[in-house]
Amino acid sequence: MTDSLASDERIVPMRLQRFLARAGVASRRGSENLMTAGRVTVNGKVASELGTKVDPLVDVVAVDGVVVRLSEGFAYLMLNKPAGYLTTMSDPHGRPCVASLVPTKAYPGLFPVGRLDADTTGLLLFTTNGELAHRMLHPSTHVWKHYVALVKGTPSKRELSALSQGVELEDGPTAPARVSLLDDADPVCRPVAPGRVPRGHAVVGISIHEGRKHQVKRMMEAVGHEVVRLHRDVFGPLALGDVAQGSGRELSAEERAALEALH
């Protein structure tokens, strides 16, 4: 038993969904969903009633058969998402989902923070910390995301300037972006142009802090350049680095601290 738990002013009994949230399994709402789905047990018995209370010092709580404790804290992982996977934990039509690429059994309640289009590759953050996910996606936080885009044609300086100042879309003008034309010899281009950049194409680096649907694709189309491939390599303080496509890893202590410091 940890000292912090033992000195927590006898927090028992506590509602099961609060226990699950504090253990880092999911947000309270997500924990309630796990309970009503019959995925949570207390001392070996399914606990689906939302009024269920537990003693964290005595009761054994498990999700999908995996025991969880208050001392475990939140889980944080990054995935290099391949193309062809939906950013969802399940799909009624049986299409490939990112859930199959992360260790959901080891981390019950794991979910992706935001989403990438099915054909977009790159950095996807997973966590069990619902509050942090909300902060990262909230417009007031201004979390920057960097994308590398293979586009048709070569954007002119005027077009790049327009993107950097913000362009008009059907749902209103975008915020200013950070945009640059990338040299095809730059290693950052490899995810979208593993060999040479095809004739008649260019690679653009673009950073945004908004989260509109298909935003980068729509911004490039607004200045006359269709996106052929799109890859995200930076999300807030996280950089994908050399994580292989389809693989993932837990965040380091430094990365976790950087995320939790976001306001």
- DSSP-assigned letter for residue 220: H
Phi, psi of 185 (to 5 degrees): -85, -10
Phi, psi of 157 (to 5 degrees): -60, -35
Question: Nearest Cα to 4, choosing from 60, 71, 69, 55?
Answer: 71
d(CA 79, CA 49): 34
Catalytic residue among 55, 117, 183, 186: 117
Position 28, amino acid? R
Beta bridge partners of 146: 207, 234
117 is catalytic: yes
Helix (H/G/I), strand (E/B), else coil: 216: helix
Beta bridge partners of 204: 149, 181
Phi-psi region at 217: left, alpha or beta (left = phi > 0; alpha = psi -120 to 50): alpha
Helix (H/G/I), strand (E/B), else coil: 200: coil
d(CA 181, CA 192): 14
d(CA 53, CA 121): 42
Residue 117 makes CB contacts below 8 A (sequence gap 6+) with 87, 214, 217, 230
d(CA 241, CA 249): 11
Q: Which residues form the catalytic set? A: 117
